Homo-oligomer: A and B are copies of this chain.
């Protein structure tokens, strides 16, 4: 049974039901599961665990690559299974529990989790639960649509449960490149010098004796939920395209640009989508997640290669890619997120990184995570890995939200994920602020004039003018700056009486 999927002799005998496999997970354990931005998550064992918890309550620390699909975080959260969660999530139910203080959420740079596990700075992973396309003759685990943290989880864990997903074409084998940094104190340079380079092996090398159970599944990944481009996201793409063309014209970038990274989500996806009609060619990506736009750029002949840790597509593109995977494999590599997001490689390659800001301030500090400064949305994800080490760190956002009741650009962000040092460009549908080499007061003028929505521009100019009277490298009137956030909380809009009448 499943000879081409379980090729290691003897391992087929470890095939069990999901319920039976889930019994290996016990109360208090740290569990490392596959899954990165809805791709390659385990489809059966988490559900069996939630069902069991209804009869026999238990709590675990759940580590993954990033967010899960198939409502797994929701189901586990509702079953009260998750005591602790890291390094990323994106589920509304789990989010509520996190913000209520019921689940301890450790929001981490995505490149760092396995580094901390390896250095024993986090409690050890007791068991890894990993979705696979196949198990090789040597017992190597071939991942599916994401690598995430699965490789290190499997290597470091005492036991491994493998979910073989029959929905995943066997031709996925060869897509992955698994490289694990050598251990300190004798760590060597990561030899990667180009996105298309292979430096590892196409499977996760583990001792097959650790594979304690194998479960057969047959369920697709959740499709991505990004929205199509709209007028604002097209305007953002247009501003960035103008900027990049100007960089090329001045000889600061080649026509193939430098490798691109784009964060998950609608705006970053739309910006990449906009490159289809650009003059650039022979583009490459070195990113953490590949979205629809990547496939469309490959099909348009614009993008020659894309490296990432996962592929998260809409249902039609998912079909298209899986059906023609042999061809797409020539343009794609999936790597551990430690490598896709590694500071060493990002800085070496000189990436152009495009990430989404939840809000940013007039000096260029960015909040990627905390609504109102307090409530977690999803997590910082890889945005810090990329923005800090980028050649060109771009943050995009629409200038307003909630029909104009929120200005995405505020005097002072209520939570900082990226400091002004790590932000080169801010782009809204209003325009683009090129902050490179500028002091904070210069940055503020540019952001206010180029990026702030007209309904907030006068109020922002007034704020900045008054703040400058108080002086400082980064002028502020803290109590007035914070009032923008408290006004929204108390009145439902950031607009003051004056500002709204001016807009009316």
Interface residues of A (CB under 8 A from B): 84, 86, 98-101, 104-109, 112, 115-116, 119-123, 181, 184-191, 193-194, 250-252, 254, 258, 342-344, 347-350, 365, 369-370, 372-376, 380, 384, 388-389, 391-392, 414-417, 419-421, 424, 436-439, 441-442, 467-468, 470-476, 478-479, 482-483, 485-486
Contacts and interface: CB of A to CB of B under 8 A. Distances in A.
Contacts of A258: 184-185
A437 B471 contact: no
A191 B468 CA distance: 47
Contacts of A252: 119-121
Copies of this protein chain in the complex? 2
A105 B476 CA distance: 17
Across the A-B interface, give the 6 residue pairs with the lowest CB-CB distance, nearest first. Answer: A374-B472, A189-B189, A376-B473, A104-B439, A416-B416, A344-B344
A380 to B, nearest CB: 6
B193 A191 contact: no
12 contacts: A99-B472, A107-B421, A121-B252, A122-B436, A186-B193, A187-B349, A188-B348, A343-B343, A374-B470, A388-B388, A414-B476, A416-B416
Given A121-B252, A373-B474, A471-B101, A439 B84 contact: yes
A489 to B, nearest CB: 9
Nearest to A101: B441
Contact of A416 (B190, B419, B478): B419
Contacts of A380: 419, 421
Nearest to A254: B185
Contact of A350 (B185, B347, B375, B414): B185
Contact of A119 (B343, B373, B391, B474): B391
Main secondary structure of the interface of A (DSSP, over half): loop
A471 B343 contact: no
Contacts of A181: 348
A407 B388 CA distance: 30
Contacts of A191: 189
A472 to B, nearest CB: 3
A438 B123 CA distance: 11
Nearest to A183: B350
A191 B189 CA distance: 7
Nearest to A252: B120
Nearest to A190: B189
Contacts of A416: 365, 416, 419
Contacts of A348: 181, 184, 187-189, 344
B473 A374 contact: yes
Contacts of A349: 184-185, 187
A190 B184 CA distance: 17
Given A374-B476, A375-B471, A376-B472, 12 more contacts: A101-B471, A121-B252, A123-B437, A188-B193, A370-B474, A372-B472, A373-B474, A374-B474, A375-B473, A380-B421, A388-B388, A414-B476
Contacts of A108: 421
A128 B116 CA distance: 42
Nearest to A104: B439
Contacts of A342: 347
Contacts of A372: 472
Nearest to A483: B479
A262 B394 CA distance: 31
A479 B476 contact: no
Contacts of A374: 467, 470-476, 478
A194 B389 CA distance: 22
Given A104-B442, A189-B190, A472-B376, A350 B119 contact: yes
Contact of A106 (B99, B106, B438): B438
